[in-house]
Amino acid sequence: MADYAKLLEVGREAVAAACSATRQVQNALDQVRSITKDDKSPVTVADYASQAIIGHILGEHFGRDVILVAEEGSEFLRDEDNAVFLEATLAAVKDVWPEADADALLAAIDIGEGDTHHRGYWTLDPIDGTKGFLRNQQYAIALGYVEADTPTVGVMGCPNLPVDMSEPLDVPDTKGCMYLAIKGEGVYETSADDAGADMIRITRLDHLEGDPISVCASVEKAHSNVSDTDRVLEHIAKTHGVEAGEPTRLDSQAKYAVVARGQADAYIRLPTRPGYVERIWDHAAGACIAAEAGAFVTDMLGASLDFSHGRGLEKNRGIICAPPRVHGWIIEAVEALGIRPAD
């Protein structure tokens, strides 16, 4: 059996370091753009820097035993035509990994080429929420440990998410939040980029009967089927007399965090196109964190998320994350309205 406390400790160290580096990149968006001559280059640099740092720290602690299944590979940075991106990525990691050189950085990124054919492995989305990052708003660094096809450890850094839930989500916070969970042991909130900061346990209370339902929504509507989501909320209003409140708009897997801490009542992700398959790194950490806070996390038909099919959630369609009462209402509405996964 894995040493979950050790996994969580190392995961926290790795994600905190990545949060620090990506914040520096986000604070220098225009400078990075001017160097690379590419408007989207800051998130590219941050993606590679985050994965390199996390791969490096996991490798330092676990050596050749580390298995990491991540979103990025190093091919782009190895292309001589992209040398300027390699230089910018190397500069981005130097504050937290001062001895890094190009070869070490590329090797650390390639630690993420692991596969899922193991009893236990890490999975990483180094920057989830590309557009939020480029807007200087919300994004997440999501690291999960999957054991026996189930996320058992979740570490998610949200560098711009304010601890104070009354603060606006479209203004970056100076400290940010990190969420830490071990299956069966609850979830804790702490500072995003300080691996030694105090932790506070959080628990998601069930939705209060009669209160409006606030749903997480992407800043960009294309990330979920908004029409079907609206139909679900209308059905709940008619059936249970509970109206929809103002949506909580933010990008990335940070949506799991705002449901976990009670800032929103549901994260509904319905398929937008036929055949779309969710990736494991987009949900492993967040699903573990939300579930440990007390939310239910399933697909749109109420089935548990199945991490036994490689890099994709091949047997699931859509995501429903909500406290028990609201989750039941959403599943009921999906069934009553005949909303089905597109094939």
Q: Which of 38, 116, 130, 170 is catalytic?
A: 130
Assign 222 a pLDDT band (cuts: 50, 70, 90).
Answer: low
* pLDDT tens per residue across span 234-263: 999 999 999 999 999 999 999 999 999 999
Mean pLDDT of the chain: 94
Within this chain, do residues 116 and 248 fall inside the same structural domain, yes or no? no
Average the pLDDT over 24-46 and give the result: 89
Looking at residue 226, its pLDDT comes to 67
Full residue range of the structural domain in which residue 48 is found: 4-202
Give the model's pLDDT for residue 275.
Answer: 85
pLDDT at residue 278 is higher than 70: yes
Sheet holding 187-191, edge to edge: 68-70, 120-128, 140-147, 150-158, 177-182, 187-191, 200-202
Smallest CA-to-CA distance from 305 within 323, 279, 328, 336 is with 279
Residues 291 and 191 in one domain: no
Rounded CA separation 84/116 (Å)? 33
Does 31 map to a domain?
yes
Among residues 177, 202, 227, the one where a domain terminates is: 202
Q: How far is CA 136 from CA 15, 25, 59, 271, in A?
A: 19, 10, 30, 27
From the list 22, 36, 44, 47, the catalytic residue is 47
Question: Does the active-site annotation cover 30?
Answer: no
What's the structural domain count of the chain? Answer: 2
Domain match, 285 and 252 both: yes
Residue that is last in its domain, among 202, 224, 257:
202
pLDDT of residue 64: 86
pLDDT at 225: 60
Band of pLDDT at residue 342, cut at 50, 70 and 90: low
Catalytic annotation on 36? no
Q: Does residue 226 share a domain with residue 195?
A: no
Q: What is the CATH number of the domain that holds 222?
A: 3.40.190.80
Looking at the structure, tell me whether residues 73 and 197 fall in a common domain.
Answer: yes
Side by side, which strands form the sheet with 266-269? 248-249, 215-217, 266-269, 319-322, 296-298
Those residues whose C-beta lies under 8 Å from the C-beta of residue 65, and which sit 6 or more positions away, are none
* 208 found inside a domain: no
Residue 180: its pLDDT value, please? 98
Q: What is the pLDDT of residue 223?
A: 53
- pLDDT at residue 163 in the model: 93
Q: What average pLDDT does this structure show over 4-11?
A: 98
pLDDT single digits (tens) 126-183: 999 999 999 999 999 999 999 999 999 999 999 999 999 999 998 888 889 999 999 9
